[in-house]
Amino acid sequence: MTGSTEAQEKVRLRYAEAASMVIGGAGTASDCSHPGKTCAEEGHATGPAFYDGLAGEGLPADAVLASLGCGNPTAVAGLHPGETVLDLGSGGGIDVLLSARRVGSTGKVYGLDMTDEMLALAIRNRDEAGAANVEFLKGYIERVPLPAGTVDVIISNCVINLSADKPRVFAEMYRVLRPGGRLGISDIVADNDLTPGQRAERGSRVGCIAGALSFAEYEAGLRAAGFENFSIQPTSQYLPGMHSAIVKATKPSAAGGSAPSLERHGDEDAALIG
């Protein structure tokens, strides 16, 4: 097993456990997985705490329980009726369902996740919510099972930091966005002076800490993939030197040749679930 696939398997097991707890009626494993204290003891928010007005959204209770994110990407993505949205690492589906309401019946929302248990939970939540404009795909954020130029907006909630191959993730986001498309992402980002070793001391990869990029590294990765108009705005301190942040960027309207040349991952890789 390579380092990348080993990291994926550890992440998969962590989130399979969280989904199984919700499905089994045992609540949610919404701790941060960093050493020592729980998130509540550390004094920082997780999951549902980032969302205002959830009671008025009419979401299934299990979609809220399964929320393990570090922000609310739907609050900053500026979604409009008729748009097509992709949620990378969609988990139990909270951000997919919120997006589906905002893009309306003329829009479309794809949720992508690699974990069977999370996909099963998300499909159950989708069906309970009656969200006819939602489809879930099984796959990896490093290899998105959609053709190029498919979506208007990409959202993600505390997932990109989990990847062991972030350049591939950035390249895939660029590929599947239409020209002029945009990112609205919540993620964990480290201070620029925090070394990878110091990040690992603060928590594990599955706890969204060890794999986090610094602000400078994040911007460099987006630039290398071809994105422009970067904005990486910290919103709260997650741990010393580690921040919940909102990441925004756009794909140029007239897409040039600045993106990396990678093989195309299209419909042949798609695994439509439910």
Report the CATH number at residue 99: 3.40.50.150
* Predicted confidence (pLDDT) per residue in 108-166, tens digit: 999 999 999 999 999 999 999 999 999 999 999 999 999 999 999 999 999 999 999 99
Going by DSSP bridges, is the β-strand pair 242-250/228-239 parallel, antiparallel, or unpaired?
antiparallel
Separation CA 168–CA 208 (nearest Å): 18
pLDDT at position 185: 97
Q: For residue 166, give the DSSP letter.
A: H
Beta bridge partners of 247: 185, 232
pLDDT at position 99: 96
Name which of 122, 112, 104 is nearest 150 in CA terms. Answer: 112
Task: Please indicate, yes or no, whether the overall pTM of this predicted structure exceeds 0.95.
Answer: no
Domain count, the chain: 1
pLDDT at position 70: 84
Its domain, for residue 235, covers: 3-273
Name which of 94, 97, 136, 143 is nearest 113 in CA terms. Answer: 136
Helix axes 116-129, 3-23, angle to 10 degrees: 40
**Opening angle at CA 33, ends 6 and 201, nearest 5:** 80
Could you give the maximum distance between any two Cα atoms of the chain, in Å?
Answer: 50
Give me the residues of the chain with pLDDT under 50, please: 31-38, 257-269
pLDDT at position 47: 65
pLDDT at position 67: 75
pLDDT at position 257: 46
* Predicted confidence (pLDDT) per residue in 71-81, tens digit: 889 989 999 99
* Predicted confidence (pLDDT) per residue in 20-30, tens digit: 777 666 566 55
